[in-house]
Amino acid sequence: MLSVKIRDIKTRSSFYRIEKLKKVKKFLFINFLNNNKLNPLYRNCLLISLLKKETCSEDHYIIDKIPPLVLNSRIDELFLQANDCIDDENFSEALLFYNLILKEDSKNIHALIDRGTTLQNLGRIKSAIRSYDKALDISSNNLDALINKGSAFHLDGKYSDAMACYDVALKIDKKHPMALAYKGLSLAELGQLTEAIDYFKNALSIDKHYHLAQISHDTAQDLLKSTQEKNI
């Protein structure tokens, strides 16, 4: 879930991270889709967005401008092996590789975050949150860890806790479309549709191509209108 721009990338490990970002985001959406507590309306929105492969604005990277990846350490190799497992949706085996990385480098923030998303896919929400917390102990302003932690709380039905994470992320970057849209989803789960719509609008004002925000905005408006008509 990184808001990384190509111009900001300076290390070989970052080149590899960019190639993984879409899959990491996909994992998060799959978790939302598999969450029985999630409002069916928003599950459908996420499904449509995922099928379009346009889950969020951060997908718009210029991959062809990235220099060829050069593996220069055992950790790079372990990341690649973990990524292969993720491609095959073999999350249990991927987790083993992330654990191996963390044995060699316990403060590898990318491994901690990826481990968290993998744990979410395995339904181990509390363990995922602990992994994000370890990443935040290293870098308290890491947007990946904050937003992923919020999504984990959301999956656990703890929408207020989720929004607290998004609020911290928005203090760091008030124009982060994913944090805005995700807060909108949590607000919607709490029945605060008007407020949710405002957050979806804000996300779209920053990125008009953010389909998750657009679909969620439109369906929330329809639901709000339907609710208002029933109350007349």
Domains, the chain, with CATH or none: 6-230 (1.25.40.10)
What distance, in Å, lies between the first and last C-alpha atoms of the chain?
42
Residue-wise pLDDT tens for the chain (232 aa)?
A: 323 222 222 222 333 343 444 444 444 445 554 554 445 444 455 555 544 444 444 433 333 333 344 444 788 889 888 988 888 889 999 999 999 999 999 999 999 999 999 999 999 999 999 999 999 999 999 999 999 999 999 989 999 999 999 999 999 999 999 999 999 999 999 999 999 999 999 999 999 988 888 988 998 898 888 877 777 6
Taking 3-state DSSP, the helix, strand and coil percentages for the chain, each rounded to the nearest 5, stand at 75, 0, 25
Q: What global pTM score does this model have?
A: 0.70
